[in-house]
Amino acid sequence: MASTRRIAVLEAAATLALVGAPLYWLQGRRVRRRTQRLEEAPGERAGALPGSPPNRRIVGLGESPMAAVGLDDQGAGVIPRLASLLAESSGRRVEWRTSARSGATARFTREVLLPRIEPGGVDRVIVALGVNDCLALRSSKRWLDELERLTSAIRERLEPGGIIFTGVPPMRHFPALPIPLATMLGLRARLLDASLARFTRTDASLVHAPMDFAQHPDGMFCRDGFHPNEAAHRLWAGQLAELVSE
């Protein structure tokens, strides 16, 4: 009940914040013009770490951070780093694969990115989404509808032992975003993240893994002030490794 009230309050605040839409449009246009556009990192998006059987298989789905935007190589991204940590701690062979795209939404992930993964059982699927759904001003109801469809599609195709949804990043802390645009998007991110957290509590096989760079607002971003840098990916992988191990 408390989470329902919190989501209702956030929904009302996020809606009220839209009164500044003309200013946000102007700020967003200025941000797009001034912010350096970073590309998805080159390199392989699948691999395997040697070890003893039985093999573990992990899959990453999502938007630009999962696609390692702004990094020098895909190997520095969260999923290959996670695979390395799991192989090292367990001694088992770990196979990994990412299917991600800059600009991806929950719907795009279900319709385009998921079908690129070979069907078959996997240990864990890690999903990183939310920023682009925030930018699209997605309502919490529409967001939850898309999460339900995506979860069903993942289960049908990959039969995972569990699905970890990383939290919607706290956009109010993105250095590239000026006030009040950062405030409005920050509210929307909190709304979608709270909805995501409530969604995962309905099923024991779903996990919500909050993403919060608030303690390191300057040291965890690429030079565009929008995407997580290598240090952030390293921290992110470590947090996920603990959840996967549990």
CATH value at residue 148: 3.40.50.1110
Distance, CA of 103 to CA of 116 (rounded, Å): 17
Model's pTM, two decimal places?
0.92
**Which pLDDT score is estimated for 218?**
56
**Which pLDDT score is estimated for 15?**
78
Q: What is the DSSP string of 21-64?
A: HHHHHHHHHHHHHHSPPPPBPPS-SEEEE--EEEEEEEEEEEST
**Which pLDDT score is estimated for 18?**
78
Helix (H) or strand (E) holding 162: strand 162-166
Give how many domains the chain has, as a whole number. 1
Helix (H) or strand (E) holding 184: helix 181-200
* C-alpha closest to that of 163 among 226, 108, 89, 106: 106
- The single-letter DSSP state of residue 72 is S
The pLDDT tens digits along the chain (246 residues) read 557 788 888 887 777 777 777 777 788 888 888 888 999 999 999 999 999 999 999 999 999 999 999 999 999 999 999 999 999 999 999 999 999 999 999 999 999 999 999 999 999 999 999 999 999 999 999 999 999 999 999 999 999 999 999 999 999 989 999 999 999 999 999 999 999 999 999 999 999 999 866 555 557 899 999 999 999 999 999 999 999 987
Provide the residue range defining the domain that includes 33. Answer: 2-245
